[in-house]
Amino acid sequence: MLTDRYGLAISTSSETAREAYIAGCDGVMAAWAGDKAHLMRAVEADPRFALAYAALGRALFLMADVAGAREAAAKARTLAGAATAREQSHINALCLAIEGKPVDSLAATRAHLAEHPRDAMVAAPATGVFGLIGFSGRQDREPEQIALLEALKPHLADDWWFQAVYAFALEEVGRLDEALALIERSMATNPKNAHGAHIKAHVLYELGEDRAALDYLDAWLPTYVREGLMHCHISWHIAMFALTLGDAGRAWQIYQAQVQPGGASGGAWGPALNVATDASSFLWRAELAGQARKSDAWQQVNGYVQKSFPKGGIAFVDVHRALTAGAAGDSETLASIVAELEERVASGRSPAGEVVPRLAKGLAAFAKSDWAGVIANLEPALAATVRIGGSRAQRDIVQNTLLAAYLKTGRAADAKKLVAAQSDRRPSVPVAGL
């Protein structure tokens, strides 16, 4: 029987299907453009190759083609009966996430990896800050992520994909020297890994190495096609590094070309979750850094965000929905979002709990210059912000907003104390007046 790149048996007798499947899976795990095409070639070469359909579903799901992803997942389930027990378990774990059952998917993933710890495609959805653990809403999700990966380390330590995601997890808990060494090792093996380039930028951000990070991404991004999944988000990082380093002109140029909502002719084209949060985050952070509010830009982003996410459910997005409505002066939508978030908490439907509406109200208070309201909401919520998901770098929007509110109210000592408390990280803090 043929095997995948990890030496796991796969139920196809077609060498063409096997090669296309491996290329497609590597594409999914490295965010290469063309992963879908490879996986389509795999199922064309072997129409009964259940694993390839599951991988295709994962690729489509990452691109926010939920309908296409569920169609591929259904096909994988239909064909799974003729596959091995491992493949059936693999397909089930991946398909549960695609079918909108993240809790069940994580449980199935853990059970599967206990028996098949080299099955990286099954492990992948549980990794990262937007993964099954990252979006679980749990306070201890970061050490939980470390624990999952450390169990796999004896089996995958030499794999470029594993090294990259493990480096990200280490960086998120402040183990920066280990993270930097590991991501350098990963990128030396596979320098085309877009997730790896992104992770290296995060590590350098945490180390306060903004110039090194910008230089690295400036050299790396031209090697990556615009159609790649991570192109828009890596562009956001470049814009943020430029802003932090004082090059506001370049930051705004990148925002307009590759971060603001757009399409093929300009702006970001990627999954709505990334576009909505990156665009609103840039505009907000630009204001924190001393840029004047750009009302037209906020109106554009607010229209996109509220159209893309008319209802809540993803805590990380919900916080950005609220700050966008607040900054755009859309008080009616803002009141509706806060009421919705509070109702979700009251009914027990918010995995992240009350921190979500509290953050929404605090950020909305900042948008209308209610500094006392910012402090009253964000101070008690800061320690629980990890529950909304996203990276430390992304969640710094909350801390930096609180810092700005301290400065606005003459509490510079409290601002300095908050910055000094970050003993395990050294990011720059682009807040005007700090």
* Nearest alpha-carbon partner for 47 in 75, 71, 28: 75
Mean pLDDT across 105-126: 98
Per-residue pLDDT tens over the stretch 225-276: 999 999 999 999 999 999 999 999 999 999 999 999 986 557 899 999 999 9
CB of 407 closer than 8 Å to CB of 431: yes
Q: Which pLDDT score, from 0 to 100, does residue 58 have?
A: 98
- The residue with greater pLDDT, 264 or 359, is 359
Residue entry with tokens 């700050």: 323
For residues 103 and 100, what is the distance between their CA atoms, to the nearest angstrom? Answer: 9
Give the residues across from 41 on adjacent strands.
none
| pTM of this structure | 0.97
pLDDT number for residue 264: 54
C-beta separation of 69 from 61 below 8 A:
yes
Chain-centroid distance, C-alpha 39? 23
Q: Do the Cβ atoms of 269 and 64 come closer than 8 Å? A: no
How many Cβ atoms are within 10 Å of 13's Cβ, its own excluded?
11
pLDDT at 183: 98
Q: Which two tokens stand for residue 234?
A: 């890596």
In the chain, the amino acid numbered 89 is S
Confidence of residue 115 (pLDDT cuts 50, 70, 90): very high
Alpha-carbon distance of 92 to 170, in angstroms, equals 29
Mean pLDDT of the chain: 97
Query: Is 383 a residue whose pLDDT tops 70?
Result: yes
Identify whether the C-beta of residue 86 lies closer than 8 Å to the C-beta of residue 8: yes
pLDDT of 266: 74
Q: What would the mean pLDDT of 15-43 be, rounded to a whole number? A: 98
Q: Percent of the chain at pLDDT above 90?
A: 97
Task: Look at residue 263 in the predicted model and tell me its pLDDT.
Answer: 63
Its CATH architecture, for the domain 137-224, is Alpha Horseshoe (1.25)
Residue given tokens 């430029």 in the structure block: 242
Tell me the domain boundaries of the chain.
Answer: 15-126, 137-224, 272-420
- Decide if 15-126 and 137-224 have a common fold: yes
- Per-residue pLDDT at 265: 57
CATH class of 15-126: mainly alpha
Residues 6 or more apart whose Cβ sits within 8 Å of residue 379: 402
Look up residue 268 and give its DSSP letter. B
Residue 422: per-residue pLDDT: 86
Whose CA is closest to 73, among 45, 43, 44, 103?
43
Task: With a cut of 90, say whether residue 284 has pLDDT above it.
Answer: yes
